Structure 1
Amino acid sequence: MTLSLKPHYSAVVIGGGQAGLSASHYLKKHGIDHVVFEKKTVAHKWKDERWDAFCLVTPNWQCQLPDHPYDGDDPHGFMIKDEIIAYVDRFIKKVDAPVLEGTTVSLLEKVDGVFKVESSAGTVTADCVVLATSLYSGPSIPRAAERLPDDILQIHTVDYRNPRQLPAGSVVVVGSGQSGCQIAEDLHLAGRKVHMVTGNAPRCARFYRGRDVVDWLADVGQYDITVEHDGMTKKKHDTNHYLTGRDGGRDIDLRKFALEGMSLYGRMDGISGGKMLFAPNLKANLDNADRVYNGINGLIDRYITEKGIDAPPASVYTPLWEPPIEPSELDLAAEGVTSVIWATGFDPDWSYVGLPIFDGTGYPVQRRGVTGIGGVYVLGLPWLWTWGSGRLLAVGKDAEHVVDHLAGYLEGSQPILRQAVGR
């Protein structure tokens, strides 16, 4: 879409991913004039930052973008990369959002009662702003990476595509979240020697007692629990459970991989003299992942009992393998390591926001996307309101709530703001 920038909008949306597009969808429904600024291209993370064998971790039925539910014939399957992109592309076409791609926002501030948005396409003012830039702006790579030998290839998960792009030799994957575990599996299945550096990520069964665990959890009501429930406020900083939808879906069990030749380590503590150093917490990391795995299954067991559901019998996972030692180091040259993949997450970039809306951790202070500054909203963050807030499942519901609030704000405040900008 080719746009000519206006000097003022009722709303400016910053970010053209699924959250920003969902906001645009509801803004159009309300008849609210707006523009969407996107630093790269619309939905670029789905298209440009996923590996070749990528597929959904949650079943297809959880794809619930606004007025665009999953429209295929396999609701309990897991779309592969090209299918996901096609689904998102259909949503992009349906929304037809007023997007300016390749537009970087450098400053958002409030001046004379309106919001001033400076961007590479020009400066505009707005009555309201929606920050939909997520917490995943740029790859997070530890400074220790600078101490790796120069002959070792280093890439982040956003740049990994397939095992063939890596030089021959062993590969270290640092980080055992969803991406790290799935990429380690991808390399393992291709016959590559993998050294897996674990963290505190939990894991989850794919299927249990005859059904996908996600289906059970939906019935239990886990996806309806809000961040305001007791003990849930810290969830927004948690690492996602690891499992996969590959080949119809299955568990990811690092202990099984260890039996098949994958080497496992505790948390990386540093790099020195051509060696990667580790904390002695491999066993603790594996045990904690399994504790969560069994805890989720136990929750399902209790639900089945309470409801009197006829289901296959319960079971408890018991470890297939235990680490014989806690490895303290990995000699990279001696083990033939030629590549390191950093599965160490992302850093948010709120540097453009000149408004006091953040807590001490850099997370916006808000309640379901509504901040303490009138007319300022956030969308697409993990646990913004529920488990699905940062995902295809519930980002649309949050966007609807935010835009409904925004519309009400405009009805009450717009006359004053119009006067402030001389309109």
Structure 2
Amino acid sequence: MGTHAHTPTHIPVAVIGGGQAGLAVSWYLGEADVDHVVIESQTAMHAWASKRWDNFTLVTPNWHCRLPGHAYDGPEPDGFMTRDEVVSWLSDWLTTFTPPLREHTTVSRIRHTDTAGFELTLTTDDGDEILTADQVVIATGGYPLPVIPPYASALDPAVAQIHSEEYFSPEQLADGAVLVVGSGQSGAQIAEDLHLAGREVHLAIGNAPRVARTYRGRDCMTWLADMGLYDTPTQEYPGGKAAQEKTNHYVTGRDGGRDVDLRQFALEGMRLYGLLTGGKDSTLEFAPTLTESLDHADSVYNSICADIDRHIATIGIDAPEPTRYEPVWTPDEEPARLDLAAAGITSIIWAIGYHPDYRWIEASAFDGAGRPMQTRGITQVEGLSFIGLPWMHTWGSGRFLGIDRDARHLADKIIESTSPRRPHLLSTHLLASGQ
């Protein structure tokens, strides 16, 4: 997939970001013959190969993987693709169409104007150029700026520090113990990766919930899909905005999929701590939240199982008997401090998430926290839209399961506005093709 030699100075639609979300929109625009360009700062789908660790696997079943014209059809629909298998699956998708893709080009600024729609500053190795567009789709991911706490710079420089997106394998780290900070999906799985490799692991956990991998004979995420939770619009989702702000449940697809049980890791020698609140030199401080955090994660685990129980009873499904998780370990104490040098810790991995960063977009489309104000990707700024955001429309948004639907909806809106006399062209095409 090469870089286009030339992009016109004006184009009807510019899609910023060449990941699966941006390219899904491009797929539908291409089917409707809408002139557009996809602008990617590196190469298409690069993050899958460059920002996942070596033993990464999906945490959602393979059957969730659906992109326009390309659903998973391999031998393990209930399995979990590895990083390299995902890269291969996405590469196969790119052979099925030819997006108007311009790679190695960074959009350093987007300015909304009253007369020309949008003015984009493109930065390449050859310098800057200006492109104008009637519509712009932002597909750069939900939260691209890695979070590193401000006190990190005050810690002992002898201890190496990396963000979770820079972690690939235990072998890249210096000999010695490792502190992982954060127990969301990445933190919990990286801690497991190090633990299975025989490294001494210290884990500072937050308020992330957890979920059973399988329950009553099926994968929990398959049960939840059957229950409609991935299809429920955000405004109707139980728990409202508070539920959407929570960290994703930790679980793993490794070795065919299993629970991630931090209590079991503790039994096997992993050291657990509550919320990391600060540090200086070789000393870290923790809040006394360890017991509460473990109990909360288990309560969510059991609550989800109970929801599945009710679904099974309501539908009358023949399934194995229900169970409840019972703790296999409880903390004897709440560690308040950790001396990195005394514990032999030589590396810290920050797995505490990302911040939004849309400072390069000059348009009145963001709230006080810098997040897009949108409804199903559409903002109140005419012509500006987003794709691939978590909870953009449903819990499935931002995941493979929801990208196709979100991209189809957004593309349909773009097609209607660019071709008002053929508002149902895409829908007609989809009906004809059986999608």
Question: TM-score normalised to the size of structure 1?
Answer: 0.95
Aligned with 1:366: secondary structure?
A: coil
- Aligned match for 2:316, one of 292, 299, 308: 308
- 2:144 matched to 1:137? yes
- Aligned match for 2:93, one of 81, 91, 94: 91
- Aligned match for 2:365, one of 357, 366, 384: 357
- 2:341 matched to 1:340? no
Answer with 320-329 or 404-413: which moved more.
404-413
* Whole-angstrom distance in 2 between the partners of 1:28 and 1:218: 30
Counting only pairs closer than 5 Å after superposition, residues 262-281 of structure 1 correspond to structure 2 as 262-281=270-289
The corresponding residue for 1:321 is: 329
Listed one character per residue, the Cα deviations across residues 262-288 of structure 1 (whole Å, up to 9, x for unaligned) are: 000011100124111101111111111
Listed one character per residue, the Cα deviations across residues 268-320 of structure 1 (whole Å, up to 9, x for unaligned) are: 10012411110111111111111110111000000111111111111111111
Please state how far the C-alpha of 1:156 moved relative to its aligned partner. 1.1
- 2:56 matched to 1:54? yes
Please state how far the C-alpha of 1:113 moved relative to its aligned partner. 4.1
* Whole-angstrom distance in 2 between the partners of 1:275 and 1:28: 56
Please state how far the C-alpha of 1:341 moved relative to its aligned partner. 0.7
Aligned with 1:95: secondary structure?
A: coil
Structure 1's consecutive aligned runs of 4 or more residues displaced over 6 angstroms after TM superposition are: none
Q: Percent identity between the aligned chains?
A: 50
The corresponding residue for 1:179 is: 186
Contact 1:374 1:409 (8 Å CA) reproduced: no
Counting only pairs closer than 5 Å after superposition, residues 334-413 of structure 1 correspond to structure 2 as 334-412=342-420
The corresponding residue for 2:429 is: none
Contact 1:206 1:250 (8 Å CA) reproduced: yes
The corresponding residue for 2:220 is: 213
* Whole-angstrom distance in 1 between the partners of 2:169 and 2:112: 46
- 2:109 matched to 1:107? yes
Contact 2:180 2:204 (8 Å CA) reproduced: yes
* Whole-angstrom distance in 1 between the partners of 2:421 and 2:371: 27
Answer with 160-169 or 106-115: which moved more.
106-115
Please state how far the C-alpha of 1:94 moved relative to its aligned partner. 2.2
- Aligned match for 1:34, one of 36, 45, 50: 36
The corresponding residue for 1:146 is: 153
Counting only pairs closer than 5 Å after superposition, residues 284-303 of structure 1 correspond to structure 2 as 284-303=292-311
The corresponding residue for 2:204 is: 197
Please state how far the C-alpha of 1:127 moved relative to its aligned partner. 1.0
* Whole-angstrom distance in 2 between the partners of 1:387 and 1:409: 27
Listed one character per residue, the Cα deviations across residues 73-100 of structure 1 (whole Å, up to 9, x for unaligned) are: 1101111111110001112232321122
Aligned with 1:76: secondary structure?
A: coil
- Aligned match for 2:84, one of 77, 82, 85: 82
Please state how far the C-alpha of 1:65 moved relative to its aligned partner. 1.0
Answer with 251-260 or 114-123: which moved more.
114-123
Please state how far the C-alpha of 1:28 moved relative to its aligned partner. 0.3
Listed one character per residue, the Cα deviations across residues 315-352 of structure 1 (whole Å, up to 9, x for unaligned) are: 11111111111110111000000011111112222011
- Aligned match for 1:63, one of 52, 65, 85: 65
Please state how far the C-alpha of 1:20 moved relative to its aligned partner. 0.6
Contact 1:172 1:196 (8 Å CA) reproduced: yes
Answer with 167-176 or 113-122: which moved more.
113-122
Please state how far the C-alpha of 1:235 moved relative to its aligned partner. 4.0
Contact 2:15 2:137 (8 Å CA) reproduced: yes
Aligned with 1:364: secondary structure?
A: coil
- Aligned match for 2:168, one of 148, 152, 161: 161
Aligned with 2:369: secondary structure?
A: coil
* Whole-angstrom distance in 1 between the partners of 2:405 and 2:145: 26
The corresponding residue for 1:120 is: 123
Query: What's the RMSD between the two structures over aligned residues?
Result: 1.4
Where does the alignment leave 5 or more consecutive residues of structure 1 unmatched?
A: 415-423
Please state how far the C-alpha of 1:413 moved relative to its aligned partner. 11
* Whole-angstrom distance in 2 between the partners of 1:291 and 1:375: 44
* Whole-angstrom distance in 2 between the partners of 1:319 and 1:287: 9
* Whole-angstrom distance in 2 between the partners of 1:199 and 1:280: 11
Aligned with 1:23: secondary structure?
A: helix
* Whole-angstrom distance in 2 between the partners of 1:172 and 1:11: 45
Aligned with 1:322: secondary structure?
A: coil
- Aligned match for 1:170, one of 177, 184, 194: 177
Please state how far the C-alpha of 1:412 moved relative to its aligned partner. 4.4
Listed one character per residue, the Cα deviations across residues 229-282 of structure 1 (whole Å, up to 9, x for unaligned) are: 153334443211100010010000000000110000011100124111101111
Contact 2:357 2:370 (8 Å CA) reproduced: no
Counting only pairs closer than 5 Å after superposition, residues 206-285 of structure 1 correspond to structure 2 as 206-229=213-236, 231-285=239-293
The corresponding residue for 2:430 is: none
* Whole-angstrom distance in 2 between the partners of 1:152 and 1:223: 41
Residue 116 of structure 1 aligns to which amino acid in structure 2? E
Please state how far the C-alpha of 1:2 moved relative to its aligned partner. 3.3
The corresponding residue for 1:421 is: none
Contact 1:21 1:95 (8 Å CA) reproduced: no
Residue 3 of structure 2 aligns to which amino acid in structure 1? T
Please state how far the C-alpha of 1:188 moved relative to its aligned partner. 0.5
Answer with 151-160 or 256-265: which moved more.
151-160
The corresponding residue for 1:2 is: 3
* Structure 2 CA distance for partners of 1:411 and 1:233, relative to 1, 3 Å: farther
Question: TM-score normalised to the size of structure 2?
Answer: 0.93
Please state how far the C-alpha of 1:388 moved relative to its aligned partner. 1.3
Residue 395 of structure 2 aligns to which amino acid in structure 1? W
How many residues in Structure 1 have an aligned counterpart in Structure 2? 414
